[in-house]
Amino acid sequence: MDFSGSRFTSSLLSPELQAQIGSGSAVTVGLTIANQRFATPGFGEVRAHGSVGPIAQLTKASAGARVEQSFGHGVHLGIESELGNQMTFGLALQSRVDMDAFKTYRGIFTEPGDFDVPARTAANLAYRASPGMTLRAAAERVFYSEVNAFTSSALPPSFLAFLGDGSSPRFAWRDLNVYSLVAELADRWEGRWGLKVSSRQQPSPTSPLLDLALRDSYKGTHFAASYQRELGAGGMFNLGASYAPSQYVLGFSPFGNRYRDGSQLEVEMNWIVAF
């Protein structure tokens, strides 16, 4: 991975309360506290638990660089219910998280770096095929139309060429539906393996002209694989990899990187030790 080209990260902390309903259902209500800052990149797969998590592990920016942070908060609701002995149904709702705009980073056309987290709804159905294996199907709707579009250098030059003057089309995103299939396997050595296949992750612009400029980035299937193992006093080991048929061009994901044509492969390994 190229750590020199991207020094931006986003992390979430989600304190919550859970209530049991009957013998097989539970309702979860909580806050979503978001933090964005210049730091090392990451997949966002590690969640905060107590003093260990992305917020506690953020690295310092390069020496002499100004560190600026953005904060925001929202609420989330989750419902999970067992359907018999082997199936579980889940429903999740997340409100929009309105983030503070960055003052030191601006887009191609000088708009402030305002990266709100869009609201989303999700439903999933899990099937326990065996004591160690779970299969999951999920559908999610992400409300990108409620957040501001941002003109970063990660957008294709052919796309940016349509913007920047009085005759430019309006730059805004459409909402996006994402569908995924997940397989999770626990092995005898306390390791957990995961494989996820999902539909496109990139929303389309509302303008037909801008949509035509990005159409090539919509095709293809996205893959993600992971391995996680508890090491007792040695902490937790995580290994993840993801493949996308084209570079993401939404928001700050490729922060600081220029647009690159072609597929994208990312690999990340981390070892977390509490002390």
What is the pLDDT at residue 200? 84
Full residue range of the structural domain in which residue 154 is found: 72-272
Whether 146 is in a domain gets the answer yes
Whether 19 is in a domain gets the answer no
Tell me the sheet residues that pair with 151.
none
Q: How far apart are CA 154 and CA 160, in angstroms?
A: 10
What's the CATH number where 213 sits? 2.40.160
Handedness of CA 79, 84, 88, 91 (dihedral sign): negative
Q: How far are the Cα atoms of 38, 194, 255 from residue 242, in angstroms, in the given order?
A: 22, 12, 18
Whether 55 is in a domain gets the answer no
Whether 37 is in a domain gets the answer no
Whether 67 is in a domain gets the answer no
The whole-number average pLDDT for the span 47-75 is 51
- Could you tell me the pTM of the whole model? 0.73
Whether 198 is in a domain gets the answer yes
The span from the first CA to the last CA of the chain, in angstroms, equals 28
The mean predicted confidence, pLDDT, of the chain is: 78
Burial class of residue 20 in the structure, from the number of CB atoms within 10 Å of its CB (0-12 exposed, 13-18 middle, 19+ buried) = exposed
pLDDT in tens, 140-167: 999 999 988 888 777 777 788 888 777 7
Whether 207 is in a domain gets the answer yes
Q: Compute φ and ψ for 211, nearest 5 degrees.
A: -60, -40
Question: How many domains in the chain?
Answer: 1
Whether 121 is in a domain gets the answer yes
In this prediction, what percent of the chain has a pLDDT beyond 70? 76
